[in-house]
Structure 1
Amino acid sequence: MNTKTLTEFQAVYENQSIHKAARQLFITPQGLGKNIRQLEEELHTQLFERTKQGVLPTASGRLLYKKSADILRQLRQVDHEIQQLKFQDSRLRIGCAYGVFNMLPMQKLLDFIQNHPKIAVEYYEYSNEEIRRQILDARLDYGIIVGRSDERDFLEKKLAACPVVVLVYEGHPLYDAGEVPIARLEGEKLLSMNEAFWICQEMIRRCREAGFEPEIIAKSVDGIVLQKLCSQKIGLAIVPEVVVGELNMTNLRAIPLKERFFWEIYGICCHDAKAYMSVRLFDEAL
């Protein structure tokens, strides 16, 4: 059994037709039928009942389909891990969570690329969740994420941290406050980074812990956009303090939250990958 045959089996199961599945897979019905028969012979069981209306899965076919997604994932993971092992000293695939370069200097990555010309560096921007998934599947070698990871399979290293603050416009009742309790944000119109950013998800979680659903009326990937909306008195903006220095703060104040929480950047990799030269060198460079 291989990934190709199992994928073909899934297509036949989902279409309940050899001909429809063959069109979907861009192969001939005869070739697909032969592959399914070979799979049945390999497993010593009948997977489909052939009828005039198409094919219907047997109990064995239903069982295999139920297990097939996990089997395919594991087979692909083995292939990815073999490729990762093969290129462990000459390739480095890095996943960067949205917004991490607001705090972590991009120059560190560029310096690493320049200082290690024999390592082919690829870097991509993903959500925290996608980075963790791709590292576990061995499609990424190293991740730079926001917030700690709960995965026991990861080694992690804190790279940077800064507090989260509230941008408040002049004239708002909170403008002169020394700090803002999260409970005080109930009923306030809020501006936030979008769902791809950890800070949005964490703020929603903390508001719910305080007993209310936050009224987030606008989201953006850009801190400058949030600053402009706040300066127009559309709402209060939730941002990491590190971006404040880049913003026009005329008639605005950045006020810390009473319940301090921090925008923390972590480097993560799997335990086995830490032994790879490219991963070890990059981790040390950070």
Structure 2
Amino acid sequence: MNFEQMEHIVTVANEESITKASEKLFISTSGLSQSISQLENELGIKIFNRSKRSIIPTIEGKTVISTAKSIIKAINEMNIEINRNKNEKYLKIVSLPGLNHYLMDTALKYKLKNKDFNFVLKEWELEKWDLEQKLEAIMKEEFDFAIIPVPLKELKKLKNMSYKKICNSHFCIGAGRSSPFYSLEYVTLNDLKKAKIINFKPVNFNLLSKMFNVSPNQIILNVNHNNLLLYSAKRTDAIFIAPKIGCEYYDLVKNGDVKLIPIKENNRFFEIDYWIIYLETKGLSNLASEFIENFVEYVDEFSK
């Protein structure tokens, strides 16, 4: 009995379904059934009683599954502990462009105290790299962790992944001094219907359209870089829509050339949560945990 076979029978027992277990394990139902049959032949017992409606462990199967669970838990705990102390001077992170300023500042401050520390940061372009692709990349252990803004219900669909909330941010419009919105303290959904919009191409406009009931016909300009997004808002009377945390760091916002104005409806902000996501079996190294703590403290301090 190998580790893969143990994972197979434990997952089937947990899901009480070959189909659901195969989806969670990213293998075919026929491949999973064959793996279980091979293990049953190897052990000379029947692990599951199968029918069209259910799959239930036998008495012998319960013993095998219980043992497999204990072994898997021990191996996972061992791997997490190994990874905590491995590559303690090197981090690979994927995040959104707007958060990269905070991450780079955190990394530079960390490097001043720890000269051997190295840091690789990749930008996540929402349009070109969806959540499923991100999951696949992390599953291949390309990154130590990712920082993503996504609803909790989407995260709950992820398999073999862990996640923790680090902060949230409300959506704003970015308006230059020539915009009719610049003098407002907040804008409503009805206000947005009249707006000319600068579209940030790396973000899927359909998501914003559903959330704020804006139309593609309102787009007057498409840009593909954050600096161009803010510069265009400064130079025109058009606005862009984005989470505050992704824009407040830029000089054009700090000096007032572009004003971030919250979107509110019935005294309610439109907020989005940001999450750390990482491979469940790998866990977070001590370095990653410490870096995340420093990052969150820096974001909190800057956003006050």
Please tell me the TM-score bracket, short chain as reference.
0.5 to 0.7
When residues 257 and 280 of structure 1 are mapped into structure 2, their CA distance, relative to the original with a 3 A threshold, is closer
User: What is the alpha-carbon root mean square deviation over aligned residues?
Assistant: 3.9
In structure 2, the residue matched to 1:56 is none
Of structures 1 and 2, the one scoring higher in RCO (CA 8 A, sep 6+) is: 2
Query: Cα deviations across residues 228-267 of structure 1 (Å, max 9, x unaligned)?
Result: 32343351222443434621535x6432111422354322
Please state if 1:144 is matched with 2:153: no
Local SS of the residue matching 2:282: helix
Local SS of the residue matching 1:266: strand
Give the unaligned 5+ runs of structure 2.
1-27, 32-78, 296-304
Preserved contact between residue 185 and residue 214 of structure 1 (Cα < 8 Å): no
Give the unaligned 5+ runs of structure 1.
1-66, 71-81
In structure 1, the residue matched to 2:281 is 272
In structure 1, the residue matched to 2:222 is 219
In structure 2, the residue matched to 1:100 is 99
When residues 232 and 127 of structure 1 are mapped into structure 2, their CA distance, relative to the original with a 3 A threshold, is closer
Look at both structures and tell me which one has the larger radius of gyration over its CA atoms. 1
When residues 181 and 279 of structure 1 are mapped into structure 2, their CA distance, relative to the original with a 3 A threshold, is same
Q: Please give the residue correspondences for 1:74-153 in structure 2 after superposition, counting only pairs within 5 Å.
A: 89-90=86-87, 91-102=90-101, 104-113=102-111, 115=113, 121-127=119-125, 129=130, 130-148=133-151, 150=155, 151-153=158-160
Q: Distance in 2 between matches of 1:164 and 1:266?
A: 16
Query: Cα deviations across residues 103-144 of structure 1 (Å, max 9, x unaligned)?
Result: x34222234455556665433223353433311232222112
Preserved contact between residue 209 and residue 215 of structure 2 (Cα < 8 Å): no
In structure 1, the residue matched to 2:256 is 249
How far is the alpha carbon of 1:275 from its aligned partner?
A: 5.5
TM-score (normalizing by structure 2): 0.51
Preserved contact between residue 100 and residue 146 of structure 1 (Cα < 8 Å): no
When residues 279 and 233 of structure 1 are mapped into structure 2, their CA distance, relative to the original with a 3 A threshold, is closer
When residues 107 and 178 of structure 1 are mapped into structure 2, their CA distance, relative to the original with a 3 A threshold, is closer
Preserved contact between residue 83 and residue 284 of structure 2 (Cα < 8 Å): no
TM-score (normalizing by structure 1): 0.54
When residues 133 and 97 of structure 1 are mapped into structure 2, their CA distance, relative to the original with a 3 A threshold, is farther
Query: Cα deviations across residues 41-65 of structure 1 (Å, max 9, x unaligned)?
Result: xxxxxxxxxxxxxxxxxxxxxxxxx
Preserved contact between residue 165 and residue 240 of structure 1 (Cα < 8 Å): yes
Query: Cα deviations across residues 13-45 of structure 1 (Å, max 9, x unaligned)?
Result: xxxxxxxxxxxxxxxxxxxxxxxxxxxxxxxxx
Q: Distance in 2 between matches of 1:283 and 1:229?
A: 33
Percent of aligned pairs with the same amino acid: 16
How far is the alpha carbon of 1:181 from its aligned partner?
A: 1.6
Preserved contact between residue 89 and residue 277 of structure 1 (Cα < 8 Å): no
The match for 2:210 among 205, 208, 224 is 205
When residues 94 and 230 of structure 1 are mapped into structure 2, their CA distance, relative to the original with a 3 A threshold, is closer
Q: Distance in 1 between matches of 2:177 and 2:292?
A: 43
Count of aligned residue pairs for this structure pair: 201
